[in-house]
Amino acid sequence: MPIDGISLPQHIAIIMDGNGRWAKQRGLVRTEGHKKGAEVFRKICRYASDIGVRYLTFYAFSTENWKRSKQEVGAIMDLLRNYLFEMEERERENEGSGYRIRFIGAREGMPADIVELMDAAEARSADKTHMHINIAVNYGGRAEIVHAARLLGEQIKAGALQPEEITEERLSALLYTADQPDPDLIIRPSGEQRLSNFLVWQSAYAEFYYDDVLWPDFTPEDLDKAILAYAKRDRRFGGVQSQ
């Protein structure tokens, strides 16, 4: 592997972007791009696990994505549903993978059968420790912060917390990614260079890597390139440059 000896990022987050453009370039409907993107998602999970990445977060469906056509939203939901069914059917194989699955985002508004499958998948993998996979579905970074702030407000209202006791640590503990390290590296393929409301709080000190390749064409070699670029960065976290 070209990244042998490289200090790996503990947590990699990926914005899976470019499915629709990939399909359009090939004269296909957008849903075909999402199908191909789902295959790449599985491949990158396996490869990241093999090289020793501990945490992976994928931006699969944002709160803004509901604005897309009913056909496209339905196709994405069907892909998620099929993935969850597949997880259930391949439980014995998944036992050996050691993946702990967490779906981050609001469950409200999601199809009831998908929510039930998500809950079951999380419960089945709750004791796994080899690699943690977060799948952001119906997710928005600002909405996540608002949700945590409301929980803090409820604690204050109940008399369990004083406003002056609110800290970054208390708020972080109420985010969907509670008990996980913040992402070290955020990767966005497809040529776009924006965060798009993804892990707004958690990305404060993340390194960003942008790539022109569309997500359905993203390969393990592309992940290697991102990790190698990350390894060359000097992460100072607000401090002075190392000598």
pLDDT in tens, 129-151: 999 999 999 999 999 999 999 99
Residue 50 has pLDDT above 70, yes or no: yes
- Residue-wise pLDDT tens digits, 177-203: 999 999 999 999 999 999 999 999 999
pLDDT at 5: 72
- Residue-wise pLDDT tens digits, 88-109: 777 665 566 789 999 999 999 9
Neighbours of 146 (CB within 10 A): 11
pLDDT at 97: 76
CATH 3.40.1180.10 is held by the domain 11-231: yes
Catalytic position from the list 4, 50, 65, 182: 65
Residue 69 has pLDDT above 80, yes or no: yes
Neighbours of 183 (CB within 10 A): 27
Q: For 238, left (φ over 0), alpha (ψ -120 to 50), or beta? A: left
pLDDT at 211: 95
Mean pLDDT of the chain: 93
- Percentage of the chain exceeding pLDDT 90: 86
Q: Which two tokens stand for residue 209?
A: 């890597």
Q: Which two tokens stand for residue 121?
A: 């998948």
Whole-structure pTM value = 0.92
The average pLDDT across 192-217 equals: 97
pLDDT band at 77 (very low <50, low <70, confident <90, very high): very high
Indicate if 197 belongs to the active site. no
pLDDT band at 236 (very low <50, low <70, confident <90, very high): confident
Query: Could you tell me which residues come within 8 angstroms of residue 3 by beta carbon, excluding any fewer than 6 positions away?
Result: 51, 224, 227, 228, 231
Residue 118 has pLDDT above 80, yes or no: yes
Query: Could you tell me which residues come within 8 angstroms of residue 191 by beta carbon, excluding any fewer than 6 positions away?
Result: 18, 210, 211, 212
3-state secondary structure labels for all residues of the chain: CCCCCCCCCCEEEEECCCHHHHHHHCCCCHHHHHHHHHHHHHHHHHHHHHHCCCEEEEEEEEHHHHHCCHHHHHHHHHHHHHHHHHHHHCHHHHHHHCEEEEEECCCCCCCHHHHHHHHHHHHHCCCCCCEEEEEEEEECHHHHHHHHHHHHHHHHHCCCCCHHHCCHHHHHCCCCCCCCCCCCEEEECCCCCCCCCCCCCCCCCCEEEECCCCHHHCCHHHHHHHHHHHHCCCCCCCCCCCC
Q: Which two tokens stand for residue 179?
A: 């008990």
CA nearest neighbour of 65 among 181, 143, 155:
143
Give the β-pairing of 207-210 and 11-15.
unpaired
The average pLDDT across 61-69 equals: 95
Q: Which sequence spans correspond to the domains of the chain? A: 11-231
pLDDT band at 122 (very low <50, low <70, confident <90, very high): very high
